[in-house]
Structure 1
Amino acid sequence: MDINSLIIETMKFFAGDAKRIQHFIKVHSFAKLIAQGEGMDDITLNTLEAAAVVHDTGIKPAEEKYGQCDGKLQEKEGPAVARPLLNKCGATDEQIDRICFLIAHHHTYNNIDAQDYQILVEADFLVNIYEDGIANVDTIRDKIFRTATGAEMLNVMFRKD
């Protein structure tokens, strides 16, 4: 799948919403860095990168339908709008199914059962902690972060000297 094309298509999907575009670009970058630091294979990495790009596509339909976009609504609405973007950029059916699973669970933190899921959650937290001014970094580190690379990035970005 062509990740650069997916980035462009997702930017078009969020046209006029620079905040959301900036967010997914950062999540994508952190996810790729963590995955490569953890030695993820290229096929899984491609799927993870795509998931990081489209993970928040549910925000737009959630806001249109419900006037809000909490995590559960993002999970509910995201897969349906991500599928056409993924198809257009050459994703296989297997990739689309996995990416849609990740979208539908990226705000569900119990039962994280695979490396791609763990890394997507960590990358999203790295961005959300900063963008949302979340203060309980130590609790998030202890409860969420499992990869050495992600934990190191969290510690470097939010250490208290």
Structure 2
Amino acid sequence: MTKEQVFQKMIEYFRGDPKRIQHFTKVHAYAALIGKSEGLPARQQFILEVAALMHDIGIKPAEEKYGNCNGKLQEQEGPRPAKEMLIALGADNDVIERVIYLIAHHHTYDHVDGKDYQILIESDFLVNGYEDALSAHAVKSVYDKLFRTECGRKICCDMFAI
């Protein structure tokens, strides 16, 4: 399985929803940059990038089941379709398990258990902060509470001029 295969499958998955496709594309770009800047080992970088591409896969089943796709519902509903897609693509078990874990926790900001997890939540916030037009005060608050990587902190400061 390659990242490019995952990318193409996620575009197909969100067919007709350019907003969602643009979102995961941007999260992936930041995750790739931050992970490489932070020196992640190759396997962890691969897992991070796959998780970044797939992190919001739970939106569709959450909307179908509940008419809502809040963060907790995304975490709840994302693992099943992610696992199915990863198995179909021939992913290794360790990749499947970690990607599913990251998807199931990407809106949970306590007990962050790895750099891949930290980078995923920072990358998602960089995109969400812009897309949701958060106030400077809100961005600064999240920056202080959430950002831990040197690269993620710099990007956030530069992007939002904090």
Per the TM superposition, whether the score is higher than 0.5 is yes
- How many residue pairs are counted as aligned between the two chains? 160
Q: 1:89 deviation in Å? A: 2.7
Q: 1:86 deviation in Å? A: 1.4
Q: For 2:64, give the aligned amino acid.
A: E
The within-5 A match list for 1:81-96 is 81-96=81-96
Q: 1:88 deviation in Å? A: 2.8
Q: What is the aligned partner in structure 1 of residue 40 from structure 2?
A: 40
> Within 1, Cα distance between the matches of 2:132 and 2:90?
33
- Stretch of structure 1 that moved more, 143-152 or 77-86: 77-86
| 1:152 and 2:154 are equivalent in the alignment | yes
> Within 2, Cα distance between the matches of 1:2 and 1:90?
9
| 1:141 and 2:147 are equivalent in the alignment | no
The within-5 A match list for 1:7-86 is 7-86=7-86
> Within 1, Cα distance between the matches of 2:156 and 2:125?
9
> Within 2, Cα distance between the matches of 1:17 and 1:28?
17
Q: TM-score, normalised by structure 1?
A: 0.97
> Within 2, Cα distance between the matches of 1:31 and 1:88?
24
Q: What is the aligned partner in structure 2 of residue 5 from structure 1?
A: 5
Q: CA RMSD in A?
A: 0.8
CA-to-aligned-CA distance 1:129-161 (integer Å, 9 cap, x gap): 00011121111110000000000000110005x
> Within 2, Cα distance between the matches of 1:158 and 1:151?
11
Q: What is the aligned partner in structure 2 of residue 111 from structure 1?
A: 111
The share of aligned pairs that are identical, in percent, is 51
CA-to-aligned-CA distance 1:46-89 (integer Å, 9 cap, x gap): 01100000000000000000000000000000010111221233
Paired residue secondary structure (2:108): coil
CA-to-aligned-CA distance 1:4-37 (integer Å, 9 cap, x gap): 0100001100000000000000000000000001
Q: 1:90 deviation in Å? A: 3.0
Unpaired segments ≥5 residues, structure 1: none
Paired residue secondary structure (2:78): helix
> Within 2, Cα distance between the matches of 1:81 and 1:129?
26
> Within 2, Cα distance between the matches of 1:64 and 1:47?
28
Structure 1 residue ranges, 4+ long, deviating more than 6 angstroms after superposition:
none
